[in-house]
A and B are shown apart, each in its own frame.
Chain A
């Protein structure tokens, strides 16, 4: 569905489901350069279970218009406005990668709005390597290649998708290639600059699940587990073999994890 946030056309997928104010909600926030399609399987599951599903495209991502937001704080504020616009007062929040940082910030600022939270592929802080950041700044295809390859476990780079006939690597690459100019850079830069996050994590009271890929090179297991140790009410789900692209590499295990928290 399309709606407006700050007068800009904004898209969110409802997982082919209906919206019903009497039902529970779940909100999905994608990672750097990505969009709602990351969550298609999980979105469809929760929609069938009568949840109100909102897999939102951040400004300049997927089907949403506007310019990319510059900081995680701005993205969290934007999400707050978007949820107000959608009439969502209470929800579970699922964030992947950059989306996990937005979720952390949101949980710290608006804990009353959250029923629970899942951080999929997270790290505090979330530093981005110079070669990747520089390539993204130049809008070079190398940035897509780096981000995409580092996002997949070695096993997933060769394939063996649970989802029949779909190449995980090429799906990731094409999604990056669809991203608008400067979007990946803006996102990675926002992640890189989000440094006061440990402080935030200590404030988070929301029940949280952290999903960890044992071969995640973008947000390493060590870092993800550190986040888990800081958040007071937090469980972890460890996936192996799995890189950073958890929704592609282990869609069924990720969904099982989400079902346990959403």
Chain B
């Protein structure tokens, strides 16, 4: 007899975390738009507060619609549990706040989302948390940056804007040798393309605003716990391995074992910082996740076709994508992201800043905005928008050239996308 079959990714995308509603028979996940939930009696109420009973108290702490989303992402990421947050930024903050405190330190890839960079470089130092930024392609740089007080190693599965593939097996090994967990931002990949926990990551976060939703109608974040890190053995995480006065001296690692981190994150960070997700948002993200496998396939397919087109164009200086043999992480990508490296990539347009502006303003189907991972194709020219204050030198230091255009390839017919790009490229050179 072989191993029993487990449910596969496509099935879990549709079903994980949800059963038909027991009272109404509703097949879809209902939106439990309720701030709070009635207690059967006082003892039961205490039981819910004291983690004796399973259930819901108040929608900042948990909500039945959110719980479906949380279990779904946990199932897709092979995680013991998840928490839905108000945004991707909130998920990042919750991860950090749960295990890193004042006087402690983070080692982060330097090729990360600008908002995350702001949080780590400027905001967290005000709260006594310092970060050292390193080249994501240099494992030794991670190792050398580790300090006695380092409590977290962080990177994005696909770096920004260079799409550096984070070598999760190697970087997690480095972090683990120092008794520290690895947190991966897997927003660009989604679990359809890569499950970082399977490769050694301990915690994973998403901006669910992006591909997980796909429709671009909500802001949301998700944080999951692989349940793989041994907080007690590490000895560096007193929030998890020592009694917590804020919860009647509960020792999370002792009582919850593999679910220690995610339980503490809910019982402390979600409770006290309060960056919870609205149940309506959770519902909308769930609608997106039902079609995640189909959408990601088409995102990847369209990206391939668009990239092939751009590579042939004389207006294009360079194009950066790990699916290309010319990308330094091409081989690593084959191992970690065998189904594709996502649908966000950059290329350089000849003619610099001016040409970039003309190109963007000539596009009809691509929407010019600050987001990625929508079903609709998106474009941004950092030199004239998000990074407009920077001169050429400062841009270069940030790894951005004046002609850099970032595309997020959507689900339109690829020939329409290509036609749109073609006419805008022509216009850019006039």
A160 touching B262, Cβ below 8 Å: no
B250 touching A16, Cβ below 8 Å: yes
Which of these binds chain B: A116-124, A145-153, A204-212, A228-236?
A145-153
B1 in the interface, Cβ–Cβ < 8 Å?
Answer: yes
B4 in the interface, Cβ–Cβ < 8 Å?
Answer: yes
Take A16-B248, A44-B51, A48-B50 as given contacts and tell me if A160 and B71 are in contact as well, using a CB distance cutoff of 8 Å. Answer: yes
B256 touching A165, Cβ below 8 Å: no
A127 in the interface, Cβ–Cβ < 8 Å?
Answer: no
B164 in the interface, Cβ–Cβ < 8 Å?
Answer: no
Residues of B within 8 A of A15 (CB): 255
Cβ contacts B197-231/A at 8 Å (1 or 0 each) = 00000000000000000000000000000111010
Closest to A1 in B: B254
A166 touching B16, Cβ below 8 Å: no
B249 in the interface, Cβ–Cβ < 8 Å?
Answer: yes
Residues of A within 8 A of B80 (CB): 166-167, 170-171, 174
Q: Chain B's nearest CB lies how many Å from the CB of A31?
A: 14
A174 touching B54, Cβ below 8 Å: no
Count of chain B residues with a beta carbon within 8 Å of a chain A beta carbon: 56
A129 touching B1, Cβ below 8 Å: yes
Question: How far apart are the CA atoms of A142 and B51 in the complex, in Å?
Answer: 32
A167 touching B75, Cβ below 8 Å: yes
Closest to A55 in B: B255
- State which residues 4-40 of A face B: CB under 8 Å: 13, 15-16, 35, 37, 40
Of the candidates A41, A131, A162, the one whose C-beta lies within 8 Å of that of B51 is A41
Q: Chain B's nearest CB lies how many Å from the CB of A165?
A: 4
B17 touching A37, Cβ below 8 Å: no
Of the candidates B1, B15, B67, B226, the one whose C-beta lies within 8 Å of that of A164 is B67
Question: How far apart are the CA atoms of A43 and B4 in the complex, in Å?
Answer: 32
A58 in the interface, Cβ–Cβ < 8 Å?
Answer: no
Residues of B within 8 A of A41 (CB): 51-54
Residues of A within 8 A of B52 (CB): 41-42, 44-45, 48, 255
Question: How far apart are the CA atoms of A42 and B52 in the complex, in Å?
Answer: 6
| 16 interchain pairs, CB-CB under 8 A | A13-B255, A37-B257, A41-B54, A44-B52, A45-B53, A145-B3, A146-B4, A157-B6, A158-B18, A161-B54, A161-B71, A164-B55, A164-B67, A165-B74, A166-B262, A167-B81
Q: Interface on B for A, CB 8 Å cutoff?
A: 1, 3-4, 6-7, 11-12, 15-19, 46-47, 50-56, 62-64, 66-68, 70-72, 74-75, 78-84, 226-228, 230, 232, 248-251, 254-259, 262, 266
20 further A-B contacts with Cβ under 8 Å, apart from A146-B4, A170-B79, are A13-B254, A13-B255, A37-B257, A40-B255, A48-B46, A131-B1, A145-B3, A146-B3, A155-B19, A158-B16, A159-B71, A160-B68, A161-B17, A161-B71, A164-B62, A164-B266, A165-B67, A170-B227, A174-B227, A175-B258
